[in-house]
Amino acid sequence: MFIRAYLRASTNGQDARRALEDLQTFAQERGLLIAAKYEENESGASLKRPELFRLLNESHPGDVLLIEQVDRLSRLNAEDWQTLKTTIAAKRVRVVALDLPTSWQLASQGDDLTQRMLEALNGMMLDMLAAIARKDYEDRRRRTAQGIAKAKLVEGKYRGRPENVEKNTAILSLLAAGNSWSEVVKATGASRSTLSRLVKAAHHKQNNLIA
């Protein structure tokens, strides 16, 4: 039996190794040794995780996939979670999570009946925590979208890419000098929709000044 630690963070700005010390302490307290570590910065909501699947490909029946929290393994939707579970089951790998005490005994050898009962119980708990992790992921995405919409419509805090005033002025100058739209698009790389927006804005500003 090999203990394989899986360390995942969502973005490159986060440290996937942050939980390593806790995983090592867990293993040492049980007289175990982490044989391999797999680290990556990928979303838990995606199955595109090369290191996780490298871990599973290199695993043997009875090996332990050790994680800090269930959400490090999955924030997947129901279909993708079922796909991952099927892969784990086919490899006969035991998932042990520090936030799932019912899984801890799977890190040690036991008689066949006890192990099968623990794996069944652990499977149900994993399903529950994976569903909670997915809901948390969806709730955070919804709150982020709501916050951006509010900032756009009410507070004006979310402005996206700042306007390139110098470039826009040059575009209007080229048009005013009699250059065709095609010539301006070719010279500046701006799209026709950008030219249309700038011309409309300039006309609106001129009409306000006349009024």
Whether 196 is catalytic is: no
Token look-up 């006890």 returns 114
Q: Are 75 and 45 in contact (CB under 8 A)?
A: yes
Q: Measuring CA to CA, how many Å separate 110 from each of 4, 34, 107, 169, 195?
A: 19, 19, 9, 75, 72
The residues that are catalytic are 10
